[in-house]
Structure 1
Amino acid sequence: MKQWLYCLMAVLLAPPLGANEMPLNMTQGVTEISGKVYDLHMIILYICCVIGLIVFGIMIYSMIYHRKSKGAVAANFHESTKVEIAWTVIPFIILIGMAIPATKTLIAMEDPSNADLTVKITGSQWKWHYSYFNEGVEFYSILSTPREQIDGNAIKSDTYLLEVDKPLVLPINRKVRFLMTSDDVIHSWWVPAFAVKKDANPGFINEAWTKIDKPGIYRGQCAELCGKDHGFMPVVVQALPEADYDAWLADQKNLAKNAQAAAQAALSETLSKDELMTQGEQIYMARCAACHQPNGAGLPGVFPSLIGSPLIKGPVAGHIDIVLHGKPGTAMQAFDKQLTAKEIAAVVTYERNAWGNDTGDVIQAIDVSNAANGDAMPADTSASITNAIDETISVAVEAVAAQASDMAATVMPVDLTELSHEELMTEGLQVYTTSCAACHQATGAGLPGAFPSLIGSPIITGPVDEHIDIVRNGKPGTAMQAFASSLSPRQMAAVITYERNAWGNNSGDTVQATDVNSHGQ
């Protein structure tokens, strides 16, 4: 029996004793705080193992020596004061033993005072912006994994999706204070080796700190589900000896001055359309394609298509303005601090002439600079702007005419013809393909995180009245629009019937135009 107990103790104690060698265990990291977090983790693990050893040991002992086959008779007692005290006091002591080291570690983690360096970290979809306080150095850090690896056309490297064009550079042996915020949605800056994981919330500033002990390159990533390219937002930190860091910082200051001089010189340059298109394509693929797609088609319902877009084919000034300043309330961010005037001119020229847009517009850096300063566009672009304005007016006139036609149509009799189930399914497929598939996909599977799946959906398989209501009136606060003004009762009845019976839903429901019409009255 003793041998079995020894074996049991070995099995329970072996994991914590060799935990620091296990690849799946928490790492010790390279900072004092990460060491404290690791020690706290191991303390809790040891406590859990001891509790497990005692509890399971007593259970096994009881099952072996107090089993029915040996004639054991269960004791019969009630309201034992000693037992009540024991199972209250012992857990309390255990919790206190866990709370003391945990509290000390948490207090140390939340103390960014007396920092030697402050870095502001701003998250945006999907990149990090680093700004060194009082140093005049700032830059964006963007994923640098080749597109071929992401598309599966090349062998993936060891740092796949964990590599950037410009890492955050920090000195060792100096306390670094982080101020974290966001330009759009909630992100989370996480570097496991530092034991730093802090949310970056729009409109708020969160604090964290680190003091790195060893030089090296340390990798992390955004730890918050921040949107479509969440998995493409890595964090890379390069820790340098203090002397090397000071030299790097001096170089960055010189580079910033040179960049300003180069940007100023670019204002007097006049590039050919081919040169702008070549440079613009490179910038677009690096900065814009994640949202608007490499082919400019965007992501319907999430990111607008640039092919034939009224903005792209409209006045140049409006196009430059949205690239410079973004569009509040949307995922379109401002690029005035991310790109130079020359780069913005190139990407605007590219967008206005790629994918069949073919406006013929050629934008120069001085145009972007003038727009940024609120100056009028130069005369050589006035003709294209005039043409664009004329086109915009024409589009507006057509829209008004279409609206008038719609208003006239409202006085026509409503088609409430009753159709067979098969006729409704056929017409419903056509209506769904033209009005719904852009968001919910042709398969009804939707787009996870953006547009819900219709396969087995509670709305689709639930009461018909609720389904009719959401199609007619939409759902406030979501991308689900109201179709009462764009589809007839017959069309809505057809598409509802189709959705309730397609993709395996098979509800058997047949909705008629009279059902939809009566619901709206």
Structure 2
Amino acid sequence: MKQWLYCALAVLLAVLIVPPLWASDMPFNMTKGVTNISGQVYDLHMIILYICCAIGVVVFGVMIYSMIYHRKSKGVTPANFHHSTKVEIIWTVVPFIILIGMAIPATKTLIAMEDPSNADLTIKITGSQWKWHYSYFNEDVEFFSVMSTPRAQIEGNAEKTATYLLEVDKPLVIPTNRKVRFLMTSDDVIHSWWVPAFAVKKDANPGFINEAWTRVDKPGIYRGQCAELCGKDHGFMPVVVKVLPEAEFDTWLAEQKQAALQAKKDAKASLSATLTMDELMAQGEQVYLATCAACHQPNGAGLPGVFPSLIGSPLIKGDINAHIDIVANGKAGTAMQAFAKQLSATDIAAVVTYERNAWGNNSGDIVQAIDVNNLGNAQPKAPPATTTGPDTVDKIETAAAEVVEIAESAIDSLTDSSPLQTTQASVDLTTLSHEQLMQEGEQVYLSSCAACHQINGAGLPGAFPSLIGSPIIIGPVNEHIEIVKNGKPATAMQGFATLLSPRQLAAVITYERNAWGNNSNDTVQAVDVNNHGQ
């Protein structure tokens, strides 16, 4: 019996001691990386592993020894005591010493990781769904980095490569033997820039700047990815860093500067080019599939409740300038990002033309690069220059008196009107038919409300109320306007007055009161929403 127990003890000790000795060669162990910091992180990891294994050997060794030499079959009588000052001191002091021994190297490593001072190169990294934007400070070089894995591999129609989902069209390029400082932020949601070989993993938060740094001594290509759940296509946001020897990096940087200057010249020249409908549609389709299809789908149908459909939508049927503006500058408060810095004026013109004529939209509209450029450069017209003669002085004095009168009238009106009234002239209060309101309301509902109340209005029991025959739907219209416009305190219902226009609010309220069998026949107009609460 004793021999079996001794054998078991020997096997246990071997299991605890041998793995740490071979850990550096194990495929599942942390890798050392290629930077000094990543080496320090690896060494810290191994120190903690050895300490944990030593503690395991001591604890399990004492347990096994006690079971062998203090078992009942040997006639040992268990001790009967309730307190030992010596034991309590030992099990307090020993763990304290162990923790201090672990904290000292950990603190040194953390301090080194958070010291981006004296950097040779600073790069701003901006995350957005789902790409990275790199900007080299003081170098006039910036570009977007987008995943380049072929769609056929993603859809399972082609064999996946070793770098599946870890490929980009333009990698970040940095030099060897130079300290590179990273400034990280985000355009939309929280992302996280992570390259394991550098031991760099830092969150990119909208409205904040986080810092990190690295110094790589070995040229090569190093891959990582966004390590934060940033949205539907989170897995399609890789990071690729190409490290070049210093001389090669300097050459690359000079080439990029020259390419940036040439791109500006080409963009200026393209403004005078006029493309045919077929040329714009062909180019627009390529731009759409590469840039827009991830959200709005290749067939333009969108994702109900998440991304709006582009088939017959108000945007497509509406003003062309508004369409160009939302593609170029995005839409605040939504996932629609700005593409003015990502696409050329020709690309934006092509994709807008494509969207307005694909999938049966057939608007016949054609947008040229000059249209995109003119919209972005639109400025208020300056008053004509005048000479400063006596008549001019009289005109200036008269104009000044008129300005004072207008200002006084404006101040008087402010005392008798609400903020909404002062901007009423700029608000779209067009009266729409019931059918137009229902069509627009459905689009607004799918993009703003369906995430909580569901596409069919049934809500989520216990979380979000159903809108089918609910008290708010069959109740007074003004109460419905109030809760959609201003929200409801102490609930998840937020106010949409600052997110949607009066016309959109009127449309979605009309839709909710008449969809899913509610059939109230109520029609709410933008003016009703605008006048509510005044």
Note the C-alpha offset of 1:88. Answer: 0.5
AA matched with 1:459: G
The answer for the alignment partner of 1:399 in structure 2 is 433
| Residue pairs, 1:127-166, within 5 angstroms | 127-166=131-170
CA distance in 2: counterparts of 1:93 and 1:486, whole angstroms: 65
CA distance in 2: counterparts of 1:402 and 1:438, whole angstroms: 16
The DSSP-based 3-state class of the residue aligned with 2:433 is helix
Note the C-alpha offset of 1:284. Answer: 0.6
Any conservation in 1 of the 2:284–2:351 contact (CA below 8 Å)?
Answer: yes
Gap regions ≥5 residues in structure 1: 377-394, 405-433, 440-445, 494-521
Change over 3 Å in CA distance of 1:260–1:94 after alignment to 2:
same
CA distance in 2: counterparts of 1:346 and 1:454, whole angstroms: 37
Matched, 1:57 2:55: no
CA distance in 2: counterparts of 1:243 and 1:465, whole angstroms: 65
Change over 3 Å in CA distance of 1:154–1:346 after alignment to 2:
same
The DSSP-based 3-state class of the residue aligned with 1:486 is helix
CA distance in 1: counterparts of 2:129 and 2:175, whole angstroms: 27
AA matched with 1:352: R
Matched, 1:272 2:298: no
The DSSP-based 3-state class of the residue aligned with 1:217 is strand
The answer for the alignment partner of 1:26 in structure 2 is 30
AA matched with 1:190: W
Change over 3 Å in CA distance of 1:313–1:492 after alignment to 2:
closer
CA distance in 2: counterparts of 1:261 and 1:489, whole angstroms: 53
The answer for the alignment partner of 2:200 in structure 1 is 196
Change over 3 Å in CA distance of 1:139–1:315 after alignment to 2:
same
CA deviation map 1:93-151 (0-9, x unaligned): 01000000000000000000000000000000000000000001000000100011111
Matched, 1:235 2:239: yes
The answer for the alignment partner of 2:403 in structure 1 is none
Matched, 1:486 2:512: yes
The answer for the alignment partner of 2:388 in structure 1 is none
CA distance in 2: counterparts of 1:108 and 1:124, whole angstroms: 29
Matched, 1:311 2:315: yes
Any conservation in 2 of the 1:459–1:466 contact (CA below 8 Å)?
Answer: no
Note the C-alpha offset of 1:203. Answer: 0.3
| Residue pairs, 1:341-420, within 5 angstroms | 341-374=345-378, 397-399=431-433
CA distance in 1: counterparts of 2:516 and 2:207, whole angstroms: 47
Change over 3 Å in CA distance of 1:470–1:8 after alignment to 2:
farther
**Given the two structures, how large is their TM-score scaled by the length of structure 2?**
0.75
Q: Percent identity?
A: 68
| Residue pairs, 1:263-302, within 5 angstroms | 263-302=267-306
The answer for the alignment partner of 2:263 in structure 1 is 259
CA distance in 2: counterparts of 1:453 and 1:58, whole angstroms: 64
Note the C-alpha offset of 1:7. Answer: 2.8
CA distance in 2: counterparts of 1:309 and 1:333, whole angstroms: 18
CA distance in 2: counterparts of 1:113 and 1:375, whole angstroms: 42
AA matched with 1:168: L
The answer for the alignment partner of 1:124 in structure 2 is 128
CA distance in 1: counterparts of 2:34 and 2:446, whole angstroms: 48
CA distance in 1: counterparts of 2:454 and 2:210, whole angstroms: 31
Change over 3 Å in CA distance of 1:266–1:465 after alignment to 2:
closer
The DSSP-based 3-state class of the residue aligned with 2:160 is coil
CA distance in 1: counterparts of 2:82 and 2:157, whole angstroms: 71
CA distance in 2: counterparts of 1:478 and 1:93, whole angstroms: 55
CA distance in 2: counterparts of 1:465 and 1:309, whole angstroms: 24
Provide the aligned length of Structure 1 versus Structure 2.
Answer: 439
CA distance in 2: counterparts of 1:140 and 1:279, whole angstroms: 20
AA matched with 2:86: K
CA distance in 1: counterparts of 2:376 and 2:172, whole angstroms: 29
CA distance in 1: counterparts of 2:372 and 2:152, whole angstroms: 33
CA deviation map 1:367-412 (0-9, x unaligned): 1110110169xxxxxxxxxxxxxxxxxx9544368779xxxxxxxx
AA matched with 2:512: S
CA deviation map 1:49-107 (0-9, x unaligned): 00011111111121222222222221112221101100100010010000000000000
The DSSP-based 3-state class of the residue aligned with 1:94 is helix
The DSSP-based 3-state class of the residue aligned with 2:512 is coil
Root-mean-square deviation (CA, aligned residues, Å) is: 3.5
Matched, 1:476 2:493: yes
Change over 3 Å in CA distance of 1:89–1:329 after alignment to 2:
same
Change over 3 Å in CA distance of 1:343–1:13 after alignment to 2:
same
Any conservation in 1 of the 2:200–2:214 contact (CA below 8 Å)?
Answer: yes
Any conservation in 1 of the 2:459–2:465 contact (CA below 8 Å)?
Answer: no
Change over 3 Å in CA distance of 1:352–1:466 after alignment to 2:
closer
Change over 3 Å in CA distance of 1:117–1:3 after alignment to 2:
same
AA matched with 1:250: A
Change over 3 Å in CA distance of 1:43–1:316 after alignment to 2:
same
The answer for the alignment partner of 1:15 in structure 2 is 19
Gap regions ≥5 residues in structure 2: 381-428, 475-482, 485-491, 497-504, 520-534
Return 9-18 or 90-99, whichever deviates more.
9-18
Change over 3 Å in CA distance of 1:90–1:484 after alignment to 2:
farther
Question: Of 184, 191, 205, which residue of structure 1 is paired with 2:188?
Answer: 184
CA distance in 2: counterparts of 1:6 and 1:274, whole angstroms: 79
Any conservation in 2 of the 1:141–1:165 contact (CA below 8 Å)?
Answer: yes
CA deviation map 1:317-349 (0-9, x unaligned): 111111111111111111111111111111111
The answer for the alignment partner of 1:519 in structure 2 is none
| Residue pairs, 1:33-72, within 5 angstroms | 33-72=37-76
The DSSP-based 3-state class of the residue aligned with 1:221 is strand
AA matched with 2:226: C
Any conservation in 2 of the 1:471–1:484 contact (CA below 8 Å)?
Answer: no
CA distance in 2: counterparts of 1:490 and 1:254, whole angstroms: 59
Any conservation in 2 of the 1:341–1:368 contact (CA below 8 Å)?
Answer: yes
The answer for the alignment partner of 1:459 in structure 2 is 462
Any conservation in 2 of the 1:302–1:450 contact (CA below 8 Å)?
Answer: no
The DSSP-based 3-state class of the residue aligned with 2:462 is helix
Change over 3 Å in CA distance of 1:492–1:163 after alignment to 2:
same
| Residue pairs, 1:64-143, within 5 angstroms | 64-143=68-147
Change over 3 Å in CA distance of 1:350–1:211 after alignment to 2:
same
Any conservation in 1 of the 2:473–2:512 contact (CA below 8 Å)?
Answer: no
CA distance in 2: counterparts of 1:291 and 1:36, whole angstroms: 41
CA distance in 1: counterparts of 2:515 and 2:366, whole angstroms: 48
AA matched with 2:272: S
Any conservation in 2 of the 1:130–1:139 contact (CA below 8 Å)?
Answer: yes
CA distance in 2: counterparts of 1:136 and 1:213, whole angstroms: 25
Any conservation in 2 of the 1:324–1:334 contact (CA below 8 Å)?
Answer: yes
AA matched with 2:297: Q
CA distance in 1: counterparts of 2:7 and 2:55, whole angstroms: 21
